[in-house]
Amino acid sequence: MGKFRGKKSARGGAAKPLNRDEKQNDWNAFVGADKSNAGFEEYYKAQGVVPEGEWADFMESLKKELPVTFRVTGSRAHAETINDIIKKTYVPNMQNVEFEGRKYEPPSQLSWYPGQLAWQVDAPKRVVRKTEPFKNFQRFLVGETEVGNLSRQEAVSMIPPLFLDVEPHHLCLDMCAAPGSKTAQIIEALNPHHTASTGLLIANDSDYKRTHMLVHQTGRMPSRGLIVTNFDASLFPSIKLNEGKTLQFDRILADVPCSGDGTLRKNLEIWNKWGAADGNSLHGLQLRILERAMNMLKPGGRLVYSTCSFNPAEDEAVISAALNNKAGRFHIVDVSSQLPELKRRPGMSSWKVGSQPQSNGRKLVWYDSFEDYKEAIKRGDEKENDRGKGLPKTLWPPANAAELNLDRCMRLLPHDQNTGGFFVCVLEKKASPETESASSSLKRPASSPPPTSDTKRAREKSPEPGSSTAATPAETTPVPSTTVKPEGKKEKRDLTFREDPLSYVDPEHAEVKSIIERFKFKDTFPRNNLMVRNEYGDPLRTIYMTNDIVKEIIQNNDYTRLRIVSAGVKCFARQDSSQRTEIRCKWRTPMDGILEVLPHVGEGVVISATLVELRVLLEDHYPPLDNFADGPWKSTLLQRDMGCEVVRFEAGQVAGGELALPMYLPVWKAKMSLSLMIDKREKSILSLRTFGEDICKPPPPQKDLSKKAEGANTQTEGEGEVAEVAEAEGEGDAGLGIAGEVAEGDVVVNKKESEQ
């Protein structure tokens, strides 16, 4: 079989960008790859995953390149504007594209996706590369994805969060979250209008490196209610809250690790590697993760279990085992009336269990029952090679399979709507209090491992983690400041966990006061919720803002026990580290936090500008104030102290550019010059999007800068300082994008993101 490079395994790694030659090879590899696997065909034909008459269509579509799909992200007004740009600018220009004698259709909207905000481009990569209209559109796609206005995501992967039904006040857990495409959807649902959400999302992944992908991905849609953790989801710890309560979630997504054969259209290596053992061996972990989720769900809460596998061993077998282990406490929700345009097939109520033992030359052997399988082990035909235990009994359909409403599960098949394959099941926990009465909080020590399906008896003896729900106090409630530790015994610290500690800053701290003064923050500003990454609540370089529930979690749990990688939104970054008294507030608002800060800034703080000023700010890195035309912008800035300004660039067509919606950006005012506080890559993207070309001059070389900084000229003093600090902290803002609804119709800013 041909080799397909540039991508990692099915349910994991991010795609690595390819260069031009690699892209050509990539395409050749796709065409040339051997897309066959006799075991796969035999296995799924026998399982009856598609009606016999559809087998050829099913296989044919699995061998076709997957169309590119993406979602328009962000708040409603903003998303609709971007959607209109696609509809009115790009689609009309792509009507009659022909390549090698074949006509290609322009992008089309996915009919089932709410608000028609998801799109599909059904042209092979070589057409996109070789035809001008598609090439233009591709550039638009890349730019907008980069700034976080679009999110490339497989169509079927968009489905699970839609059925989660998240509301802004919900406490949510995404158990296997990296790289974070579904996490982003949940954050959007929690913050539909960029309003301060009281809800929570814990995005978790067991792979430490991938949690950093998550941090990056979620930076495009920052949320004060977000925590990223690094745990084996099947052992996810219970979380303590105030008054000895334990957190239970309203919504949990268990998008579990799986064999990934639903992604065959893009992960060609699976054709070669696929075996029946893949699904069989993942079943145990999947079940443990699902059961852990069930334990942590609030009564009445909703849980979505999903895989991108066709295999009933990873799908219905897991669901039925979990339902039976939690007999009577959960049911599969009938969601047939939700997303009516989405074509889906019912889950299976009977399936087969197969194995490819060495003794049979890796040919498929079916076992009608667990007992038959055990007999095969006795005969020596099978080895108990699954961690010494062999195949678990739960792989086989239970006797009561017909009563579990497994037909309410959803199977997404590739030939139904030109997608990958997926499995989705929506579960609800019964609301009745008596089923939960045995589970009141904190009986089990928080540090003890949670129950798993493998330790069923042990689980029956130990209560589920708490039943109390998290009461979210008002954001403005005065709370004791600094590093409040939970009362009682200090938790043991996990010294192997290397992330920095988290603590809250004293709201009366001089630095906080300087920030409040600079931005004339109103009383609504959550000064009690400013968090830093050190033990002592010292605002050294970066200040994050969290909401109350995140604060409650951080203050009641040792951060190493929860393995917290990140929390909240980066709202202030120290811009000037000198002791100079003329800069009273040395902090700027990074792009991540501008949406969070804006609703609280006082009157007259935000300065209005147009694309005329933006052009000057983009062309030069540190334009002197003299470079700007006389007018209200310049006179306002001349009156301002040195420090960070929040600038609102008005929508319109001026100075050779076009802005569809207003946009907020941070600008640093030095003595006599200004600097747009976004990194140079973001500047170039902004320039391309707004002015159709990259007008940014390269930054001055470092040595010149230091000379300037030493000079007597006050303007260059400021310039040197900006460059120096940005470099020292290694953090130009990681992102920019128009977005948001500060007021309906306004645009604010998101962060960049690489494609998943």
Ligand X SMILES: C[S@@+](CC[C@H](N)C(=O)[O-])C[C@H]1O[C@@H](n2cnc3c(N)ncnc32)[C@H](O)[C@@H]1O
For the CB of residue 230, give the shortest distance to ligand X in the complex, in Å: 9
Query: Counting contacts by CB under 6 A, is residue 182 touching ligand X?
Result: yes
How buried is residue 374: exposed, middle or buried, by Cβ count under 10 Å (0-12/13-18/19+)?
A: middle
| Six token digits for residue 46 | 């026998």
Give the DSSP H/E element, type plus range, for residue 623.
none
Identified binder of ligand X from the candidate list 37, 120, 234, 320, rule CB under 6 A: 234
How many Å apart are CA 253 and CA 582, to the nearest integer? 50
Residue closer to ligand X, measured from CB, 12 or 192:
12
Q: How far is the CB of 331 from ligand X (least distance, A)?
A: 24
Q: Determine, following the binding rule CB under 6 A, whether residue 82 of this chain makes contact with ligand X.
A: no
Residue of 7, 11, 326, 689 that binds ligand X (CB under 6 A)? 11
Separation between Cα atoms, residue 244 and residue 233, nearest integer Å: 23
498's CB contacts (< 8 A; 6+ apart) are none
Q: Which residues are annotated as a binding site?
A: 176-182, 205, 232, 255
- 251 is a site residue for ligand X (CB under 6 A): no
- The C-alpha atoms of residue 460 and residue 439 are separated, in whole angstroms, by 11
Which amino acid type is present at position 418? Answer: N
Residue type, 159: I
Cα distances (angstroms) measured from residue 45 to each of 172, 247, 311, 352:
38, 44, 11, 11
- Taking CB under 6 A as the criterion, the residue among 206, 246, 248, 575 binding ligand X is 206
- DSSP summary character for residue 739: B
75-83, 171-179, 571-579, 726-734 -> range binding ligand X (CB under 6 A): 171-179
Q: Minimum distance between the CB of residue 236 and ligand X, rounded to whole angstroms? A: 8
Residue number, 10 or 646, with CB nearest to ligand X: 10
CA–CA dist 133, 71 (Å, integer): 20
Residue 499 CA to residue 171 CA, distance in Å, equals 24
Binding track, positions 581-620, relative to ligand X; x by CB under 6 A: ----------------------------------------
Alpha helices in 104-131 (DSSP H): 125-130
Closer by beta carbon to ligand X, 211 or else 325: 211
Q: How far is the CB of 179 from ligand X (least distance, A)?
A: 5
Cα 561 to chain centroid, rounded: 23
Establish if 507 lies at the interface with ligand X (CB under 6 A).
no
177 makes contact with ligand X (CB under 6 A): yes
**Candidate residues 12, 275, 299, 599; the one interacting with ligand X per rule CB under 6 A:** 12
| CB 11 to ligand X: min, Å | 4
- Residue 671 · residue 717 · CB < 8 Å: yes
Q: Let me know if 430 is exposed, middle or buried by CB neighbors in 10 A (0-12, 13-18, 19+).
A: middle
Give the C-alpha separation, 492 to 247, whole Å.
20
Q: Point out which span in 203-211, 348-356, 417-425, 663-671 binds ligand X (CB under 6 A).
A: 203-211
Q: Facing residues of 567 across strands?
A: 227
Cα 258 to chain center, whole Å? Answer: 19
Which window, 170-178, 320-328, 575-583, 718-726, contacts ligand X (CB under 6 A)? 170-178
- Provide, rounded to whole angstroms, the least separation between the CB of residue 181 and ligand X: 4
The residue range among 232-240, 364-372, 463-471, 659-667 that interacts with ligand X, by the rule CB under 6 A, is 232-240
Sign of CA dihedral 42, 321, 165, 72: negative
Instruction: In angstroms, give the least distance from the CB of 625 to ligand X.
Output: 45
DSSP string for 222-250: --TTEEEE---GGGPPP-B-GGG-B--EE
Q: Is residue 570 near ligand X by the rule CB under 6 A?
A: no
Which amino acid is residue 718, in one-letter code? G
Answer for which of 94, 97, 226, 233 binds ligand X (CB under 6 A) is 233
Identify residue 490 by its one-letter amino acid code: K
Nearer to ligand X, 233 or 651 (CB): 233
Residue 257 found at the interface with ligand X (CB under 6 A)? yes
List 68, 176, 323, 696, residue binding ligand X (CB under 6 A): 176
Exactly one of 80, 146, 255, 645 binds ligand X (CB under 6 A); which one?
Answer: 255
Asked if residue 283 lies in contact with residue 258, where contact means CB atoms within 8 angstroms, the answer is no
Active-site residue, from 308, 425, 571, 644: 308
SS3 category, 574: strand
Biggest CA-to-CA distance, the chain? 92
Among the residue ranges 14-22, 173-181, 263-271, 711-719, the one whose residues contact ligand X (CB under 6 A): 173-181
Ramachandran quadrant class, 115 (left: phi over 0; alpha: psi -120 to 50; beta: rest): left
Active site residue 308: yes
Residues 107-166 that bind ligand X (CB under 6 A): 157
Footprint of ligand X on 328-357 (CB under 6 A):
none
Closest to ligand X by CB, 288 vs 615, is 288
Q: 68: part of which helix (H) or strand (E)?
A: strand 68-72
Q: How far is the CB of 647 from ligand X (least distance, A)?
A: 34
Q: Does 232 bind ligand X (CB under 6 A)?
A: yes
Give residues 280-309 in contact with ligand X (rule: CB under 6 A).
285
Residue 450 touches ligand X, criterion: CB under 6 A: no
Q: From the annotation, which residues make up the binding site for S-adenosyl-L-methionine?
A: 176-182, 205, 232, 255
Q: For residue 205, state whether it binds ligand X (rule: CB under 6 A).
A: yes
- Least separation in angstroms between CB 204 and ligand X: 6
Phi, psi of 257 (to 5 degrees): -60, 140
Q: Tell me the site size for ligand X, rule CB under 6 A.
A: 21
Told to check if 178 binds ligand X by CB under 6 A, we report yes
Q: Toward ligand X, which CB reaches closer, 220 or 615?
A: 220
Distance CA 254, CA 425 (A): 10
Q: Which stretch binds ligand X (CB under 6 A): 1-9, 100-108, 175-183, 366-374?
A: 175-183
Enumerate the β-bridge partners of residue 246.
240
Among 7, 71, 126, 210, binds ligand X (CB under 6 A): 210
**Backbone dihedral region of 730: left (phi > 0), alpha (psi from -120 to 50 degrees) or beta?**
left
Number of Cβ atoms within 10 Å of the Cβ of 377: 14
Binding of residue 658 to ligand X (CB under 6 A): no
181 binds ligand X (CB under 6 A): yes
Q: Report the nearest approach of ligand X to the CB of residue 206 (Å).
A: 3
Of 176 and 226, nearer to ligand X (C-beta) is 176
Q: Nearest Cα to 599, choosing from 740, 715, 477?
A: 740
Which parts of 292-375 are beta strand (E)? 297-307, 330-332, 345-346, 353-355, 365-367
Residues of this chain that interact with ligand X (CB under 6 A) are 11-12, 157, 175-182, 205-207, 210, 232-234, 255, 257, 285
Residues annotated as catalytic are 308
